[in-house]
Amino acid sequence: MEPTVNMCTCARFATFLAVFVCRFALVSSFLVGCKEENCGEPVIPPQALRIVGGHESISGSLPWTVMLVWCDFFRCGGAILSSQFILTAAHCFDEPRYPCFRLNSKETRHPSNWTVFAGKQNAIRSNTGEMMFEVEEIFIHPLYHNHSHRNDIALLRLKTNITYTSLIRPICLPTSSQVVADGQPCIVAGYGETLAAQTFSLNQVTVKVISDKVCTQPDWYGPSYYDPPEQFCAGFEHGGKDACDGDSGSPLVCDFDGKWYASGIVSKGFGCAAPKRPGVYTNVSYHDFWIRTTLAANVPGPLCLT
C-alpha cells in the first residue's frame, strides 16, 4: 500500500508544481512585449513630501485615482492598473447600510450597477476631461473576510478600454519584493471626509508607514485588530492625518525611484486620524500573485503593466 500512497502524493505534488510553473510562465509571458502608457508617471508630479496637513490635490497630479459609484452613490475610490483594470477594496462590495432606492436592493456585486469615473477633481462637480466607464466584471479576493477585512482587495474589469490622457493614467503595481519601508512617506487621496469643510474635492495627505512592532502595541491596535504582513499601518502617532470615510478602496501610493506604486489600499481604521489609531491598508505586494494571475486570466490581449 505504501508505494501507492507515495506515488499518489508525488503525482499530486508534480501536478501542483506543473500548474504553478505553468501559471508563472503564463504571467511572465503576458508581461513582455507590452506597449502601454508608462505607469506611475503623472504629467504633473504630486505635491508630496513638503506638505504636512491634508489639502486639495493639484488637478492631474494623481491621474490614476478613480471614483466608484454604485447606484448613483459615491461609494469608494480605486486606482487604474491598466487600460482595462481598476484596483480597489473588497469591502466596497459588502452589503450597504441603505438599499439603492432606484432598484430597491442592497445587491452590490452586480457589475452593471457600478460606474467608474476617471479624471475627476471633485466628486460632485463635473470637470473637463473626466470620463465614465461601465464595469464588465468584479473580482473579489476569494479569501476576503468581511469582519476582519482580511484580503480586502478587488479588481474591476471595465467594459471599454480607458484611453489615457494627461488627467487619466495608470499607477504601477508593486512586485512582491517591492515593499514599503517603515517610516516611508506615501500619499493617500480620496473624495471622502476631511473632518473640516466637506468640499468633495480630491484631497491628498502624506502619511508614513508604521512598523507592525509599533502598530500592534497594546496602546495602539494591539495584536488582533489587523493581520501583518497581509495588512499594514500608515499614519502618525499623534494622528491628525489619515484616510477617512469615503476613501475606502483608494490607493496608498509610494515613490520608488521616481515612479509611483499602489502599495496599499485603504481598508479600515478606528475613527479618523485619532492618536495611535492609524489607517490600516491592504498590503498590495502581498497579493502580487493573485492580482497578476487574475489579470492574466482575464485579458484578451497581452497584459500591460509597465
Binding site for ligand NAG (CB under 6 A): 83-84, 94-95, 103, 105, 107, 110, 112-113, 146, 161, 176, 179-180, 229, 232, 283, 285-286, 300-301, 304
- Cell numbers placing 89: 477594496
Query: Whose Cβ is closer to ligand NAG: residue 44's or residue 69's?
Result: 69
Cβ of residue 115: shortest distance to ligand NAG, in angstroms?
11
Q: What angle in degrees, to the nearest 10, is found between the helix axes of 2-31 and 288-297?
A: 70
99, amino acid identity:
P
Cβ of residue 41: shortest distance to ligand NAG, in angstroms?
18
Query: Whose Cβ is closer to ligand NAG: residue 180's or residue 265's?
Result: 180
Number of other residues whose CB lies within 10 A of the CB of residue 32: 8
Cβ of residue 36: shortest distance to ligand NAG, in angstroms?
6
Catalytic residue list contains 91: yes
Cβ of residue 287: shortest distance to ligand NAG, in angstroms?
8
Distance CA 109, CA 137 (A): 9
Q: Exactly one of 61, 82, 91, 285 is catalytic; which is it?
A: 91
Contacts 24+ apart (CB under 8 A), 106-114: 108/70, 108/75, 109/138, 109/140, 111/135, 111/136, 111/137, 111/138, 111/156, 113/70, 113/71, 114/68, 114/69, 114/70, 114/138, 114/156
Q: Exactly one of 83, 248, 267, 285 is catalytic; which is it?
A: 248
Q: Please, how many CA atoms are within 13 Å of residue 92, restricted to the half-sphere of its CB?
A: 37
Query: Whose Cβ is closer to ligand NAG: residue 3's or residue 300's?
Result: 300
SS3 label, residue 179: coil
Query: Whose Cβ is closer to ligand NAG: residue 87's or residue 202's?
Result: 87
Catalytic residue list contains 145: no
Catalytic (active-site) positions: 91, 152, 248
